[in-house]
Chains A and B, each alone.
Chain A
């Protein structure tokens, strides 16, 4: 009796080249727009997860292994699997929005913004599940 496709929800991407990746909903459109009359969501996700880091590794190695490659994409709700997790990450809506996809430079900037914020959050050590690769 409640809507759960909301911003800050962690979802799994089910289709496309990012299938199996975890993503965070940035903006959701439940009723569709003139471009697409289906409910969809703009998500920012993790393409390449940070590698495993152990205590024995030095700072340089840890830094290299903690890098994240991100993506920004619009998905139909049918191609997303919601989870019970959420991640309140302060992604800049001015940088990451639907208009980003028309210009590759803007898209790269949006991906960069997502990457920076994801790495920041990963380094605090919170929300570990979201930064772990989904094994299937």
Chain B
């Protein structure tokens, strides 16, 4: 039962990510994430499960300071890349403009 609900939640976030890729603005990568967080433009940070711990801590701290949400993606960077429809790995991504998606509301 628990597994099923997890799968549902996973599908939800994937669908929402796809919508953001289509209609919103986003940045990939640690450098861009931190830059966006510093300027206060970040709305949600999505971090993969195998993101290096120091990198993850830094991003979470910056997000705490800028009051931005952090979503821990339940897959590794390969899965996150696939979820975003890209052919490369993504460890951390930041959504700066949500577009049509309601990804932030569901995260809260």
Interface residues of A (CB under 8 A from B): 1-5, 30, 39, 77-78, 81-82, 84
Q: Indicate if the CB atoms of A3 and B66 lie closer than 8 Å.
A: yes
Q: Indicate if the CB atoms of A4 and B65 lie closer than 8 Å.
A: yes
| Inter-chain contacts of B65 with A (CB < 8 A) | 2, 4, 82, 84
Q: Indicate if the CB atoms of B64 and A84 lie closer than 8 Å.
A: yes
| Inter-chain contacts of B64 with A (CB < 8 A) | 84
Q: Indicate if the CB atoms of B39 and A2 lie closer than 8 Å.
A: no
**Contact A2 to B38, CB < 8 A, known contacts A82-B62, A82-B65, A84-B64:** no
How many residues does chain B have at the interface if contact means C-beta atoms less than 8 Å apart? 14
**Contact A2 to B67, CB < 8 A, known contacts A39-B38, A77-B38:** yes
Interface residues of B (CB under 8 A from A): 31, 34, 38-40, 42-43, 58, 62, 64-68
With the chains together, A78 CA to B30 CA distance in Å?
11
Q: Indicate if the CB atoms of B39 and A1 lie closer than 8 Å.
A: no
| Inter-chain contacts of A2 with B (CB < 8 A) | 40, 65-67
With the chains together, A81 CA to B39 CA distance in Å?
14
